[in-house]
Amino acid sequence: MALAPNVYDAEPIPDAARAEIDRMLGNGDLFRYTAPQDAPVTLLERDFADFIGARYALAVSSCSAALFLSLKALDLPRDARVLIPAFTFAAVPSSVVHADCVPVLCEVGENYRIDMDDFEPRIDTGIDAVIVSHMRGHTSDMDRIMAACDARNIPVIEDAAHSLGTTWGGRNIGTIGRIGCFSFQSYKLVNGGEGGIMISNDPDLIARAVIMSGAYEHNWAKHLTDPDLEAAFARCQNQLPLYNMRMNNLSAAIIRPQIAEIPRRVRQGRANHDHVAARLNASPWLEVPQKLEREERAPDSIQFNLVGMDEDDTRAFARAAAARGVNVQVFGQSTDNARAFWNWQFLPGGTPELPRTRAMLMRACDTRLPARLGREELDFIAGTLVDAAAEVMGEARVYGT
Ligand SMILES: *Cc1c(COP(=O)(O)O)cnc(C)c1O
């Protein structure tokens, strides 16, 4: 029997990183503000801003740090209400709590996207800011979200941690809201071990975030600036607390040469996803929801819903797939899953009930599908999932009805 593919290992880091890392090992130049200019972190910010099409970028220690600094940069009052989708990673409500704001959850539909029929009325409940989390790269209806928020002058932060390379109506995800945040943690499209970056066209927001990220004294002058940004730095000099969430040069040296790899990874990831999705959709028990029309995806995993399975069937399906070597996580059924909102017990006022999101999480499955996998490995995964469903449900049909 063929061996199940390893879906956890990352791709090798491009060779171009080695010379730069060697140079740093030789001279110990690891701190972004030691060199007077053009530190690796600064060059990463320049290259990423150019790649994504944003005026400014700030590299930090994680996407969680970028989300936190985004909220702080918006200068929201204490206890400001921040609307977030109920299907996201625990880092998102955590960043809101950390910024002394209150997370307000909205429903997410069976297609893993924000349920606009719930979002639109909720936005009128005294919401001060919105974080749209493009969870696993699934893009919500950005046209309707931006129209609703712009009409009320509510700032939108895009959590594009796991959406790098996705586009909406031809625009890069992360460039549509006031601020976009991305992750370089190892399970994301670009692997820096840890790391994050925030982008914006607004000089005041970026100046505030740069200083709070730890640009003490006049270290902001070592960022790539322009007259607008310099004026903004002058306005916030000595006015803001420092949280020290800087990126170090080693991380930047590992991340920077991967920017050129993004288009290939996106192409391969999308082809892999669509190949597996077509096979899963041929099973009566598995369903991969359609993307929205204006979205072009950049997936490195696949999510699908179980059709007609009760909770026992669902558990039996996950066991049958695991026995064949393919790990399927049902978001709502694995213990302490950080993407199940009822496990965010740190939320002020307790966890709310969101029945539609809960129902989705109880039958939504998650399987990693890294861009580097080949056809045979993809067929192994797809075949295993289809067979596991047939094993559980096929017999139930013969004997159970
Ligand atoms: C990974 C992830 C984060 C957190 O990113 P870190 O860099 O690990 O802090 C936030 N939101 C989503 C949707 C993610 O997938």
Q: Which pLDDT tens digit goes with each residue over 162-209?
A: 999 999 999 999 999 999 999 999 999 999 999 999 999 999 999 999
- Over residues 91-104, the mean pLDDT reads 98
* 100 backbone φψ class: left, alpha, beta (φ>0; ψ -120 to 50): left
pLDDT tens-digit readout, 105-148:
999 999 999 999 999 999 999 999 999 999 999 999 999 999 99
Distance, CA of 342 to CA of 358 (rounded, Å): 9
Across the chain, mean pLDDT equals 95
Sheet holding 295-296, edge to edge: 171-172, 167-168, 295-296
164 CA distance to ligand 1 middle (Å) = 12
Residue 159 Cβ inside 6 Å of ligand 1? The answer reads yes
Q: Which helix (H) or strand (E) holds 132?
A: strand 129-133
pLDDT value at position 67? 98
According to DSSP, the β-strands at 171-172 and 196-200 are unpaired
Q: How far is the CA of 35 from the centre of ligand 1 (A)?
A: 30
Give 67 Cα–ligand 1 centroid separation in angstroms: 9
pLDDT tier for residue 355 given thresholds of 50, 70 and 90? very high
Atom 3 of ligand 1: nearest residue by CA position: 161
The domains of the chain, with CATH numbers, are: 16-260 (3.40.640.10), 262-400 (3.90.1150.10)
CB crowding 370-401: b at 16 or more within 10 Å, else e: bbbbeeebbebbbebbbbbbbbbbeebeeeee
Q: What is each CA distance from 65 to 36, 315, 321, 348, in whole angstroms?
A: 25, 36, 36, 20
255-272 pLDDT tens trace: 999 999 999 999 999 999
Q: Could you tell me the distance, in angstroms and rounded to a whole number, from the CA of residue 87 to the centre of ligand 1?
A: 13
- Strand order across the 364-368 sheet: 286-287, 301-306, 364-368, 329-330
Within 10 angstroms of residue 147's Cβ, the number of other Cβ atoms is: 12
Per residue in 1-47, pLDDT tens?
567 899 888 899 999 999 999 999 999 999 999 999 999 999 999 99
| CA 292 to ligand 1 center in whole angstroms | 22
Specify the residue for token string 């009805």.
401
190 lines ligand 1 (CB under 6 A): no
Residue 327 pLDDT exceeds 80: yes
Residue 91: Cβ-neighbour burial (10 angstroms; 0-12, 13-18, 19+): buried
Q: Which atom of ligand 1 is nearest to the CA of 66?
A: 9
Q: Is 183 in the pocket of ligand 1 (CB under 6 A)?
A: yes
Task: Please say if the pLDDT value at position 397 is more than 70.
Answer: no
Please report, rounded to a whole number, the percentage of residues in the chain having pLDDT higher than 90.
94
Helix axes 375-389, 311-323, angle to 10 degrees: 140
Q: Cα–Cα–Cα angle for 255, 213, 173, nearest 5°?
A: 55
CA distances to 55, 56, 214, 289 from 226, in Å: 10, 10, 20, 44
User: Model pTM?
Assistant: 0.96
